[in-house]
Amino acid sequence: MTLDELIVLLESVDPGKVVRRGFNNPHSYRGYYDELAFEPAWDTTVAEMLEAVRSAKGATYEGWKGGEFTMSGYTECWLSIEGSASGETLGRTLVELMLGLE
């Protein structure tokens, strides 16, 4: 999912909804420095996830081996602990499962 797609999906859900297994802490993904990753987060809200996602749009992060990368609405998103390249893509199905959507 792109950053813009993630924003649209999160905006469609009640911001007060508690998400048992969500995400936060945006950072440059170690696998592809020009792409964005979020760390897993437990017992967070949709509003907190949306805040993290919105804060990443237009933000510049330093790559793991140097360089600066600015994230746009077209940036692909991952779920990965900061510093790890073993993440998985934040696809629509995974995010819908996190949010409890059917």
Q: Where are the domains of the chain?
A: 3-99
Calpha distance 14→7 (Å, rounded): 13
pLDDT tens string for the chain (102 positions)? Answer: 999 999 999 999 999 999 999 999 999 999 999 999 999 999 999 999 999 999 999 999 999 899 999 999 999 999 999 999 988 999 999 999 999 997
Calpha distance 73→18 (Å, rounded): 25
Q: How many CA atoms lie within 13 A of 21 on its CB side?
A: 8
Q: What is the pLDDT at residue 44?
A: 98
